[in-house]
Amino acid sequence: MSHDLFEAARDAMAFAHAPYSKFPVGAAIRAEDGKVYTGANIENLSFPQGWCAEPTAISAMIMGGAKKIVEIAVIAEKLALCPPCGGCRQKISEFASKGTKIYLCDETGVKKTMTMDELLPFSFETEL
Ligand SMILES: [Zn+2]
């Protein structure tokens, strides 16, 4: 992974809207078009209405016209590693392949690299 994806995720974290949990998270996707799309978690006073950083980045990617995640970096200010939650694993897998790299970062850089298949083995999928 080039350092720019980590920096993009770290920079995105600064945009988190996390007044309730005070748990900012950032995500950065490099898509098949070569562009980097970022996101942060966005909480809501009605707690279930908030969402994670990864879907924000996926939304940016889709609105940018891309459909495929080549690699994704995730960072949380307060965790050494911030693995995507269960729901986000499914969301990421929709736009990833089994070999897509997921980088779990802290504020100094990448701490663990996983593939989509390692992160979500035996994933929900259909033969379309
Ligand atoms: Zn999540």
Domains of the chain: 2-119 (3.40.140.10)
- What is the CA(97)–ligand 1 centre distance, in A? 18
Residues 46, 115: Cα–Cα separation, whole Å: 33
Query: How confident is the model at residue 125, as a pLDDT?
Result: 79
What distance in angstroms lies between residue 85's CA and the mean position of ligand 1's atoms? 4
- The 10 Å CB-count burial string (b at 16+, else e) for 43-81 is beeeeeeebbbbbbbbebbeeeebeebbbbbbbbbeeee
Nearest of 115, 26, 2 to residue 78 by alpha carbon: 26
What's the predicted TM-score (pTM) here?
A: 0.94
Question: Residue 1: what pLDDT?
Answer: 64
Does the pLDDT of residue 127 top 80, yes or no? Answer: no
Residues marked as catalytic? 54
The stretches of 31-98 forming alpha helices (DSSP H) are 53-63, 86-93
Average of pLDDT values for 20-32?
A: 97
Q: Is 117 exposed, middle or buried (0-12, 13-18, 19+ CB in 10 A)?
A: middle
Using the mean position of ligand 1's atoms as its centre, give its distance from the Cα of residue 5 in Å.
19
Taking the centre of ligand 1 as the mean of its atom positions, its distance from the CA of residue 118, in whole angstroms, is 17
Contact assessment for residue 84 and residue 114, using Cβ atoms and an 8 Å cutoff? no
How confident is the model at residue 78, as a pLDDT? Answer: 86
> What is the per-residue pLDDT across 27-42, written as a single tens digit (0 to 9) for each?
999 999 999 999 999 9
> Does pLDDT of 26 surpass 90?
yes
And the tokens for 5?
């994806």
pLDDT at 46: 97
- Per residue in 91-108, pLDDT (tens digit) is 999 999 999 999 999 999
CA count, 13 A, side-chain hemisphere, 55 = 14
